[in-house]
């Protein structure tokens, strides 16, 4: 993904992972499309949406726990994208660590099963084996970060405003 002018103002709001939208029976949205938007801008909007949604979740968790989150460990296939990990670090803002072993989710599931069977050592021993491959440090200026995030929140509000006012407006329920 090239750096450059964001997404020409295209913003993707996925429904499937946004609790505000799901609670309001809203659909997702792709807002701000222009004639200049093509597949690359839509793909970038999708990756940015991951960052914005992660910021929403991290903020909710920090508020619930009463703590500030200054770093995040990411794993899975998306972490191979340096651009995506840098955007995530920038928009949070927090240091994002990518592990040496990308698929640590599968590793963790296998570990949990082995722990229950008495095969693997205590959690602290396993956690000590986690090693970062790279750390992404926030680089985006605070003003730009907050302007982009405010745009995301406006887009989410717009999709919420367009949600059906009652469950009878849910066309999927009729199928």
DSSP state of 168: G
* Tokens (6 digits) for 13: 């709001």
Q: Is 127 left (phi over 0), alpha (psi -120 to 50) or beta?
A: alpha
Sorting pLDDT into bands at 50, 70 and 90, what band is 18? low
Sorting pLDDT into bands at 50, 70 and 90, what band is 133? very high
Sorting pLDDT into bands at 50, 70 and 90, what band is 175? very low
- Give the pLDDT mean for 66-71: 94
The answer to whether residues 90 and 10 touch, using CB atoms and an 8 Å cutoff, is no
What's the sign of the alpha-carbon dihedral 31, 37, 42, 48? negative
CA dist., res. 146 & res. 153, Å (int): 10
Backbone angles phi, psi at 13, to 5 degrees: -120, 95
**When comparing pLDDT for 28 and 100, which is higher?**
100
| In the predicted structure, residue 17 carries a pLDDT above the cut 90 | no
Three-state secondary structure call for residue 112? helix
| In the predicted structure, residue 26 carries a pLDDT above the cut 60 | yes
CA dist., res. 132 & res. 79, Å (int): 12
Task: Name, in order, each residue with C-beta under 8 angstroms of 3's C-beta and a sequence gap of 6 or more.
Answer: 83
The confidence score (pLDDT) of residue 41 equals 93
Residue 51, CA distances (Å) to 34, 143, 161 in order = 22, 17, 22
The confidence score (pLDDT) of residue 171 equals 47
* Tokens (6 digits) for 10: 């295209």
* Tokens (6 digits) for 71: 């770093």
What domains lie within the chain, and their CATH numbers? 11-169 (3.30.420.40)
**When comparing pLDDT for 3 and 138, which is higher?**
138
Which residues does residue 13 pair with via DSSP β-bridges, in sequence order? 29
Cite the DSSP H helix spans in 66-171: 82-91, 104-116, 123-128, 142-161
- Give the pLDDT mean for 56-76: 93
Sorting pLDDT into bands at 50, 70 and 90, what band is 106? confident
Please name which of 104, 107, 118, 37 lies closest in space to residue 76, comparing C-alpha atoms: 104
The confidence score (pLDDT) of residue 95 equals 98
Cα Rg of the chain (Å, integer): 19
Query: What value does the mean pLDDT of the chain take?
Result: 85
* Tokens (6 digits) for 173: 């329920």
The confidence score (pLDDT) of residue 24 equals 63
Dump pLDDT digits (tens) for 139-172. 999 999 999 999 999 998 888 888 777 555 444 4
The model scores a pTM over 0.75: yes
């Amino acid at each position: 993904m090239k750096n450059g002018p964001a997404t020409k103002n295209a913003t993707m709001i996925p429904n499937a992972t946004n609790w505000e939208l799901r609670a309001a029976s809203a659909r997702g949205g792709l807002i701000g499309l222009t004639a200049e938007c093509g597949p690359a801008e839509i793909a970038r909007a999708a990756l940015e949406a991951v960052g914005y949604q992660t910021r929403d979740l991290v903020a909710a968790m920090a508020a619930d726990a009463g703590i500030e989150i200054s770093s995040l460990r990411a794993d899975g296939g998306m972490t191979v994208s340096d651009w995506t990990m840098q955007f995530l670090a920038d928009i949070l803002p927090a240091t994002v660590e990518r592990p040496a072993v990308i698929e640590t989710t599968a590793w963790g599931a296998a570990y949990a099963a082995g722990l229950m069977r008495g095969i693997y050592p205590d959690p602290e021993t396993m956690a000590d084996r986690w090693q970062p491959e790279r750390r992404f440090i926030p680089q985006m200026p605070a003003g730009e970060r907050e302007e982009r995030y405010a745009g995301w929140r406006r887009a989410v509000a717009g999709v919420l405003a367009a949600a059906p006012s009652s469950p009878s407006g849910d066309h999927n329920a009729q199928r």
